[in-house]
Amino acid sequence: MFRRAALAACVALISPTAARAEQPAPLVHPIFAHLPDAPENDRARQDFTAAATHYNLRPVEVVDVPAPPPPHGPDDARIGILNTQKQAFGEALKDLDAAAKEVAATGGAGFTTAELTDLYLNRAIATARADWKAPAAAPPTDQRTRAFDDYLRAATLTPDRAPNARELPPQALADLQKALDIVRKRPRGTLVVKGPADALVSLDGGALQPLAGGVTFKDLVYGEHLLRVEQVGFAPWGAAIPFGQPSMEIDVPARAPLTLDAATAAAHARRMGARFALVATPKGGPRAPVELSLIDAATAAPRDAALVGTASEPGQLDAAVMRLDEEARRLALEQQNGPAATPVTPVAAGDSSLGPPLLLTPPPANPGFRDDPVAWARDRWPVLTAIGVFALTTIVLGTVVASNR
Protein backbone atom coordinates (compact mmCIF):
# COMPACT_ATOMS: atom_id res chain seq x y z
CA MET A 1 0.00 0.00 0.00
CA PHE A 2 2.82 2.39 0.86
CA ARG A 3 4.57 1.68 -2.46
CA ARG A 4 1.40 2.43 -4.44
CA ALA A 5 0.92 5.69 -2.56
CA ALA A 6 4.55 6.71 -3.11
CA LEU A 7 4.26 5.91 -6.82
CA ALA A 8 1.10 8.00 -7.10
CA ALA A 9 2.81 10.88 -5.30
CA CYS A 10 5.73 10.79 -7.72
CA VAL A 11 3.42 10.84 -10.72
CA ALA A 12 1.54 13.82 -9.30
CA LEU A 13 4.74 15.69 -8.53
CA ILE A 14 6.19 15.30 -12.04
CA SER A 15 2.93 16.38 -13.69
CA PRO A 16 2.30 19.96 -12.46
CA THR A 17 1.20 21.04 -15.92
CA ALA A 18 -1.55 18.46 -16.01
CA ALA A 19 -2.69 19.50 -12.55
CA ARG A 20 -2.89 23.12 -13.57
CA ALA A 21 -4.75 22.18 -16.75
CA GLU A 22 -7.54 20.61 -14.71
CA GLN A 23 -8.12 23.76 -12.67
CA PRO A 24 -11.52 25.33 -13.32
CA ALA A 25 -11.71 28.20 -15.81
CA PRO A 26 -11.78 31.68 -14.24
CA LEU A 27 -15.11 33.47 -14.03
CA VAL A 28 -13.62 36.97 -14.52
CA HIS A 29 -10.59 37.78 -16.66
CA PRO A 30 -8.90 41.09 -15.65
CA ILE A 31 -7.59 43.30 -18.48
CA PHE A 32 -5.65 46.54 -18.24
CA ALA A 33 -6.16 48.79 -21.27
CA HIS A 34 -2.82 50.48 -22.02
CA LEU A 35 -3.40 53.93 -23.53
CA PRO A 36 -0.85 55.24 -26.05
CA ASP A 37 1.53 57.80 -24.51
CA ALA A 38 -0.42 57.97 -21.21
CA PRO A 39 1.93 59.13 -18.39
CA GLU A 40 -0.06 57.30 -15.67
CA ASN A 41 -0.09 53.87 -17.34
CA ASP A 42 2.44 52.18 -15.05
CA ARG A 43 0.97 53.50 -11.79
CA ALA A 44 -2.61 52.67 -12.80
CA ARG A 45 -1.59 49.20 -13.94
CA GLN A 46 0.19 48.48 -10.66
CA ASP A 47 -2.79 49.64 -8.61
CA PHE A 48 -5.23 47.57 -10.66
CA THR A 49 -2.99 44.50 -10.53
CA ALA A 50 -2.77 44.75 -6.74
CA ALA A 51 -6.54 45.11 -6.41
CA ALA A 52 -7.22 42.20 -8.76
CA THR A 53 -4.74 39.98 -6.91
CA HIS A 54 -6.54 40.61 -3.61
CA TYR A 55 -9.59 38.84 -5.06
CA ASN A 56 -7.69 36.10 -6.92
CA LEU A 57 -8.33 37.67 -10.32
CA ARG A 58 -5.14 36.92 -12.17
CA PRO A 59 -3.14 37.05 -14.25
CA VAL A 60 -3.87 40.61 -15.37
CA GLU A 61 -3.54 40.87 -19.14
CA VAL A 62 -2.25 44.15 -20.62
CA VAL A 63 -3.85 45.02 -23.96
CA ASP A 64 -2.75 48.05 -25.97
CA VAL A 65 -5.49 50.47 -26.99
CA PRO A 66 -4.99 51.28 -30.70
CA ALA A 67 -3.58 54.75 -31.27
CA PRO A 68 -5.20 57.05 -33.83
CA PRO A 69 -3.87 56.32 -37.32
CA PRO A 70 -0.97 58.54 -38.36
CA PRO A 71 -1.74 61.23 -40.92
CA HIS A 72 -1.05 60.46 -44.59
CA GLY A 73 -1.24 64.09 -45.66
CA PRO A 74 2.49 64.88 -45.33
CA ASP A 75 3.44 61.97 -47.62
CA ASP A 76 0.74 62.90 -50.14
CA ALA A 77 1.92 66.51 -50.11
CA ARG A 78 5.55 65.56 -50.76
CA ILE A 79 4.59 63.40 -53.74
CA GLY A 80 2.25 66.08 -55.08
CA ILE A 81 4.92 68.79 -54.81
CA LEU A 82 7.43 66.64 -56.69
CA ASN A 83 4.92 66.10 -59.50
CA THR A 84 4.16 69.82 -59.57
CA GLN A 85 7.85 70.58 -60.05
CA LYS A 86 7.87 68.05 -62.89
CA GLN A 87 4.82 69.83 -64.33
CA ALA A 88 2.79 66.60 -64.11
CA PHE A 89 -0.13 68.67 -62.89
CA GLY A 90 -2.83 66.01 -63.25
CA GLU A 91 -0.95 63.52 -61.07
CA ALA A 92 0.05 66.24 -58.65
CA LEU A 93 -3.53 67.34 -57.99
CA LYS A 94 -4.60 63.82 -56.94
CA ASP A 95 -2.13 63.82 -54.03
CA LEU A 96 -2.39 67.52 -53.22
CA ASP A 97 -6.21 67.39 -53.09
CA ALA A 98 -6.05 64.37 -50.77
CA ALA A 99 -3.56 66.17 -48.51
CA ALA A 100 -5.65 69.36 -48.43
CA LYS A 101 -8.78 67.38 -47.56
CA GLU A 102 -7.04 65.68 -44.65
CA VAL A 103 -5.57 68.97 -43.44
CA ALA A 104 -9.03 70.54 -43.27
CA ALA A 105 -10.28 67.57 -41.19
CA THR A 106 -7.30 67.27 -38.82
CA GLY A 107 -6.24 70.90 -38.49
CA GLY A 108 -2.91 70.25 -40.17
CA ALA A 109 -1.75 67.19 -38.21
CA GLY A 110 1.80 66.27 -39.19
CA PHE A 111 2.53 69.59 -40.95
CA THR A 112 4.60 72.60 -39.96
CA THR A 113 3.52 76.10 -40.92
CA ALA A 114 5.98 76.22 -43.83
CA GLU A 115 4.83 72.81 -45.09
CA LEU A 116 1.19 73.91 -45.04
CA THR A 117 2.11 77.01 -47.02
CA ASP A 118 3.96 74.89 -49.60
CA LEU A 119 0.98 72.54 -49.85
CA TYR A 120 -1.46 75.34 -50.76
CA LEU A 121 1.05 77.13 -52.98
CA ASN A 122 1.83 74.04 -55.07
CA ARG A 123 -1.83 73.09 -55.22
CA ALA A 124 -2.56 76.53 -56.66
CA ILE A 125 0.23 76.12 -59.24
CA ALA A 126 -1.07 72.67 -60.25
CA THR A 127 -4.67 73.90 -60.45
CA ALA A 128 -3.72 76.88 -62.64
CA ARG A 129 -1.20 74.76 -64.60
CA ALA A 130 1.23 77.62 -64.20
CA ASP A 131 4.36 76.33 -65.91
CA TRP A 132 7.44 78.40 -66.66
CA LYS A 133 6.09 79.29 -70.12
CA ALA A 134 2.84 80.84 -68.82
CA PRO A 135 3.21 84.65 -68.84
CA ALA A 136 2.23 86.56 -65.72
CA ALA A 137 0.18 89.04 -67.76
CA ALA A 138 -1.91 86.34 -69.49
CA PRO A 139 -5.71 86.81 -69.25
CA PRO A 140 -7.34 84.97 -66.34
CA THR A 141 -8.84 81.52 -66.91
CA ASP A 142 -11.28 79.47 -64.85
CA GLN A 143 -8.41 77.34 -63.59
CA ARG A 144 -6.35 80.37 -62.62
CA THR A 145 -9.36 81.89 -60.83
CA ARG A 146 -9.98 78.71 -58.81
CA ALA A 147 -6.30 78.51 -57.90
CA PHE A 148 -6.37 81.98 -56.35
CA ASP A 149 -8.20 80.62 -53.25
CA ASP A 150 -5.14 78.50 -52.46
CA TYR A 151 -2.83 81.47 -53.03
CA LEU A 152 -4.91 83.32 -50.43
CA ARG A 153 -4.68 80.39 -48.00
CA ALA A 154 -0.91 80.28 -48.36
CA ALA A 155 -0.65 84.03 -47.86
CA THR A 156 -2.91 83.91 -44.78
CA LEU A 157 -0.71 81.33 -43.06
CA THR A 158 2.54 83.25 -43.72
CA PRO A 159 1.70 86.86 -44.64
CA ASP A 160 5.29 87.96 -44.03
CA ARG A 161 6.85 85.34 -46.28
CA ALA A 162 8.78 86.80 -49.24
CA PRO A 163 8.24 84.88 -52.54
CA ASN A 164 11.33 83.45 -54.24
CA ALA A 165 11.43 84.30 -57.94
CA ARG A 166 13.89 81.47 -58.62
CA GLU A 167 11.50 78.82 -57.31
CA LEU A 168 8.16 79.99 -58.72
CA PRO A 169 7.00 80.31 -62.34
CA PRO A 170 6.26 83.91 -63.39
CA GLN A 171 2.47 83.49 -63.29
CA ALA A 172 2.56 81.82 -59.84
CA LEU A 173 4.87 84.54 -58.53
CA ALA A 174 2.52 87.26 -59.73
CA ASP A 175 -0.62 85.63 -58.30
CA LEU A 176 1.03 84.90 -54.94
CA GLN A 177 2.22 88.49 -54.68
CA LYS A 178 -1.30 89.69 -55.40
CA ALA A 179 -2.67 87.41 -52.65
CA LEU A 180 -0.05 88.69 -50.20
CA ASP A 181 -1.00 92.28 -50.94
CA ILE A 182 -4.65 91.49 -50.20
CA VAL A 183 -3.94 89.59 -46.99
CA ARG A 184 -1.58 92.23 -45.60
CA LYS A 185 -4.35 94.82 -45.86
CA ARG A 186 -6.85 92.73 -43.94
CA PRO A 187 -7.76 93.52 -40.31
CA ARG A 188 -6.38 91.43 -37.50
CA GLY A 189 -8.01 90.06 -34.38
CA THR A 190 -7.71 87.76 -31.36
CA LEU A 191 -8.61 84.06 -31.21
CA VAL A 192 -9.18 82.41 -27.79
CA VAL A 193 -9.30 78.61 -27.54
CA LYS A 194 -10.67 76.91 -24.41
CA GLY A 195 -10.79 73.25 -23.51
CA PRO A 196 -9.51 70.55 -21.13
CA ALA A 197 -6.58 71.58 -18.97
CA ASP A 198 -4.39 68.63 -20.04
CA ALA A 199 -5.00 69.15 -23.77
CA LEU A 200 -2.55 70.71 -26.24
CA VAL A 201 -3.46 73.11 -29.04
CA SER A 202 -1.69 74.10 -32.26
CA LEU A 203 -2.57 76.86 -34.74
CA ASP A 204 -1.54 76.73 -38.39
CA GLY A 205 1.06 74.01 -37.83
CA GLY A 206 2.76 75.82 -34.96
CA ALA A 207 4.10 74.25 -31.78
CA LEU A 208 1.66 72.54 -29.42
CA GLN A 209 0.77 74.63 -26.36
CA PRO A 210 -0.92 73.60 -23.07
CA LEU A 211 -4.60 74.51 -23.12
CA ALA A 212 -4.86 75.00 -19.35
CA GLY A 213 -6.77 78.23 -18.70
CA GLY A 214 -7.24 78.84 -22.42
CA VAL A 215 -4.80 79.93 -25.13
CA THR A 216 -4.97 83.35 -26.80
CA PHE A 217 -3.64 83.96 -30.32
CA LYS A 218 -3.23 87.69 -30.92
CA ASP A 219 -2.63 89.73 -34.07
CA LEU A 220 -4.21 87.01 -36.22
CA VAL A 221 -4.96 88.09 -39.77
CA TYR A 222 -8.50 87.53 -41.07
CA GLY A 223 -8.86 84.41 -43.20
CA GLU A 224 -8.89 80.62 -42.94
CA HIS A 225 -6.76 79.16 -40.14
CA LEU A 226 -6.11 75.58 -39.02
CA LEU A 227 -6.68 74.54 -35.40
CA ARG A 228 -5.58 71.21 -33.93
CA VAL A 229 -6.09 69.78 -30.41
CA GLU A 230 -4.47 66.69 -28.89
CA GLN A 231 -5.19 65.10 -25.50
CA VAL A 232 -3.97 61.85 -23.98
CA GLY A 233 -6.74 59.28 -23.88
CA PHE A 234 -8.94 60.99 -26.48
CA ALA A 235 -9.18 61.15 -30.23
CA PRO A 236 -7.51 64.24 -31.72
CA TRP A 237 -9.62 67.07 -33.10
CA GLY A 238 -8.96 69.57 -35.84
CA ALA A 239 -10.76 71.97 -38.13
CA ALA A 240 -10.35 74.80 -40.61
CA ILE A 241 -11.55 77.96 -38.83
CA PRO A 242 -12.93 80.90 -40.85
CA PHE A 243 -11.65 83.81 -38.77
CA GLY A 244 -13.08 87.21 -39.55
CA GLN A 245 -13.90 89.27 -36.44
CA PRO A 246 -11.98 91.31 -33.86
CA SER A 247 -12.39 88.72 -31.13
CA MET A 248 -13.44 85.08 -31.44
CA GLU A 249 -13.71 82.33 -28.81
CA ILE A 250 -13.74 78.60 -29.58
CA ASP A 251 -14.59 75.82 -27.11
CA VAL A 252 -13.01 72.49 -28.00
CA PRO A 253 -15.86 70.00 -28.54
CA ALA A 254 -16.15 66.70 -26.71
CA ARG A 255 -14.18 63.95 -28.40
CA ALA A 256 -14.44 60.18 -28.31
CA PRO A 257 -12.24 58.62 -25.60
CA LEU A 258 -9.63 56.08 -26.63
CA THR A 259 -10.65 52.80 -25.06
CA LEU A 260 -10.61 49.05 -25.58
CA ASP A 261 -13.80 48.17 -27.42
CA ALA A 262 -16.11 45.64 -25.78
CA ALA A 263 -15.82 43.10 -28.60
CA THR A 264 -12.03 42.92 -28.25
CA ALA A 265 -12.21 42.61 -24.47
CA ALA A 266 -14.83 39.85 -24.78
CA ALA A 267 -12.63 37.96 -27.26
CA HIS A 268 -9.67 38.06 -24.83
CA ALA A 269 -11.89 36.79 -22.01
CA ARG A 270 -13.22 33.92 -24.15
CA ARG A 271 -9.69 32.93 -25.04
CA MET A 272 -8.99 32.52 -21.32
CA GLY A 273 -12.23 30.57 -20.84
CA ALA A 274 -13.75 33.29 -18.65
CA ARG A 275 -17.40 34.33 -18.55
CA PHE A 276 -16.66 38.04 -18.06
CA ALA A 277 -13.92 40.57 -18.77
CA LEU A 278 -13.05 43.21 -16.17
CA VAL A 279 -11.37 46.07 -18.05
CA ALA A 280 -9.47 48.88 -16.32
CA THR A 281 -8.89 51.98 -18.49
CA PRO A 282 -7.10 55.18 -17.38
CA LYS A 283 -9.14 58.19 -18.43
CA GLY A 284 -6.47 60.51 -19.77
CA GLY A 285 -3.52 62.41 -18.35
CA PRO A 286 -1.90 62.79 -14.93
CA ARG A 287 -4.11 62.14 -11.87
CA ALA A 288 -6.98 61.07 -14.13
CA PRO A 289 -9.52 58.52 -12.83
CA VAL A 290 -9.63 54.86 -13.83
CA GLU A 291 -12.76 53.35 -15.34
CA LEU A 292 -13.66 49.71 -14.60
CA SER A 293 -16.02 47.92 -17.00
CA LEU A 294 -17.58 44.49 -16.60
CA ILE A 295 -18.21 42.95 -20.03
CA ASP A 296 -20.09 39.75 -20.85
CA ALA A 297 -17.72 37.54 -22.84
CA ALA A 298 -20.47 35.73 -24.75
CA THR A 299 -22.38 38.80 -25.95
CA ALA A 300 -19.74 41.57 -25.65
CA ALA A 301 -22.39 43.56 -23.76
CA PRO A 302 -21.31 45.91 -20.94
CA ARG A 303 -22.89 44.77 -17.66
CA ASP A 304 -21.66 47.29 -15.10
CA ALA A 305 -19.03 49.98 -14.63
CA ALA A 306 -17.33 52.11 -12.00
CA LEU A 307 -15.21 55.26 -12.13
CA VAL A 308 -12.48 55.49 -9.49
CA GLY A 309 -10.52 58.68 -8.94
CA THR A 310 -6.79 58.24 -8.42
CA ALA A 311 -6.88 60.92 -5.70
CA SER A 312 -9.60 59.07 -3.78
CA GLU A 313 -9.04 57.37 -0.45
CA PRO A 314 -7.03 54.14 -0.42
CA GLY A 315 -9.15 51.08 -0.97
CA GLN A 316 -11.60 52.62 -3.45
CA LEU A 317 -10.13 50.65 -6.36
CA ASP A 318 -10.22 47.44 -4.30
CA ALA A 319 -13.85 48.10 -3.39
CA ALA A 320 -14.79 48.68 -7.03
CA VAL A 321 -13.04 45.47 -8.14
CA MET A 322 -14.78 43.51 -5.38
CA ARG A 323 -18.21 44.90 -6.28
CA LEU A 324 -17.85 44.11 -9.99
CA ASP A 325 -16.51 40.63 -9.20
CA GLU A 326 -19.57 39.96 -7.02
CA GLU A 327 -21.80 41.32 -9.78
CA ALA A 328 -20.22 38.85 -12.21
CA ARG A 329 -20.94 35.98 -9.83
CA ARG A 330 -24.55 37.12 -9.44
CA LEU A 331 -25.00 37.32 -13.20
CA ALA A 332 -23.43 33.89 -13.65
CA LEU A 333 -25.86 32.37 -11.14
CA GLU A 334 -28.79 34.04 -12.92
CA GLN A 335 -27.63 32.64 -16.24
CA GLN A 336 -27.20 29.20 -14.72
CA ASN A 337 -30.54 29.09 -12.89
CA GLY A 338 -32.43 30.81 -15.69
CA PRO A 339 -34.53 33.57 -14.01
CA ALA A 340 -36.18 36.30 -15.99
CA ALA A 341 -33.23 38.57 -16.63
CA THR A 342 -32.81 41.62 -18.80
CA PRO A 343 -32.23 40.43 -22.38
CA VAL A 344 -28.97 41.40 -24.02
CA THR A 345 -28.23 42.04 -27.65
CA PRO A 346 -26.23 39.13 -29.08
CA VAL A 347 -23.14 39.61 -31.19
CA ALA A 348 -23.78 39.62 -34.93
CA ALA A 349 -23.98 36.21 -36.55
CA GLY A 350 -20.88 34.98 -38.27
CA ASP A 351 -18.45 35.83 -35.49
CA SER A 352 -16.57 32.56 -35.41
CA SER A 353 -14.46 33.73 -32.46
CA LEU A 354 -17.39 33.34 -30.08
CA GLY A 355 -17.25 30.16 -28.04
CA PRO A 356 -20.20 28.36 -26.45
CA PRO A 357 -21.35 29.70 -23.08
CA LEU A 358 -19.62 28.16 -20.09
CA LEU A 359 -21.93 26.74 -17.41
CA LEU A 360 -21.02 26.78 -13.76
CA THR A 361 -21.11 23.21 -12.44
CA PRO A 362 -20.68 21.96 -8.87
CA PRO A 363 -17.16 20.74 -8.07
CA PRO A 364 -16.73 16.99 -8.53
CA ALA A 365 -16.36 14.72 -5.51
CA ASN A 366 -12.83 13.82 -4.48
CA PRO A 367 -11.80 10.45 -5.99
CA GLY A 368 -11.01 7.52 -3.74
CA PHE A 369 -7.70 5.73 -3.66
CA ARG A 370 -9.15 2.47 -5.03
CA ASP A 371 -10.93 4.27 -7.91
CA ASP A 372 -8.06 6.49 -9.10
CA PRO A 373 -4.75 6.34 -7.19
CA VAL A 374 -3.15 9.08 -9.35
CA ALA A 375 -5.99 11.55 -8.85
CA TRP A 376 -6.13 10.66 -5.14
CA ALA A 377 -2.42 11.41 -4.81
CA ARG A 378 -2.66 14.65 -6.81
CA ASP A 379 -5.30 15.98 -4.42
CA ARG A 380 -3.03 15.20 -1.49
CA TRP A 381 0.37 15.93 -3.04
CA PRO A 382 1.52 18.47 -0.37
CA VAL A 383 1.09 15.93 2.42
CA LEU A 384 2.59 13.12 0.38
CA THR A 385 5.52 15.34 -0.58
CA ALA A 386 6.21 16.04 3.08
CA ILE A 387 6.02 12.30 3.88
CA GLY A 388 8.35 11.50 0.99
CA VAL A 389 10.88 14.12 2.05
CA PHE A 390 10.76 12.84 5.65
CA ALA A 391 11.21 9.22 4.53
CA LEU A 392 14.06 10.13 2.17
CA THR A 393 15.77 12.14 4.90
CA THR A 394 15.46 9.20 7.31
CA ILE A 395 17.01 6.79 4.79
CA VAL A 396 19.89 9.15 3.96
CA LEU A 397 20.65 9.83 7.63
CA GLY A 398 20.51 6.13 8.43
CA THR A 399 22.93 5.35 5.63
CA VAL A 400 25.33 8.10 6.74
CA VAL A 401 25.24 6.92 10.34
CA ALA A 402 25.80 3.32 9.31
CA SER A 403 28.76 4.25 7.10
CA ASN A 404 30.32 6.26 9.92
CA ARG A 405 30.06 3.26 12.21
pLDDT in tens, 227-274: 999 998 889 999 999 999 999 999 999 888 888 999 999 999 999 999
Task: Give the class (CATH, top level) of 188-251.
Answer: mainly beta
Q: What is the pLDDT of residue 371?
A: 56
Helix, strand or coil, per DSSP, at residue 169: coil
Q: What is the pLDDT of residue 288?
A: 74
Q: What is the pTM of this model?
A: 0.71
Coarse DSSP helix, strand, coil percentages of the chain, rounded to the nearest 5 percent: 45, 20, 40
Helix, strand or coil, per DSSP, at residue 319: helix
Q: Which residues of the chain have pLDDT under 70?
A: 1-24, 39-40, 284-287, 310-314, 338-405
Please count the CA atoms within 13 angstroms of the CA of 356 that sit on its side-chain side.
Answer: 3
pLDDT in tens, 110-149: 999 999 999 999 999 999 999 999 888 888 899 999 999 9
Cα 193 from Cα 150, distance rounded (Å): 25
Q: What is the pLDDT of residue 78?
A: 97
Backbone conformation region of residue 64, classed left if phi is above 0, alpha if psi is from -120 to 50, else beta: beta
For residues 126 and 82, is the Cβ–Cβ distance under 8 A? Answer: no
The fold adopted by the segment(s) 26-35+42-64+267-337 is Rossmann fold (3.40.50)
The ranges of the chain annotated as CATH 2.60.40.10 are 188-251
Residue from 81, 86, 110 nearest 97 by CA:
81
The ranges of the chain annotated as CATH 3.40.50.800 are 26-35+42-64+267-337
Q: What is the pLDDT of residue 341?
A: 46
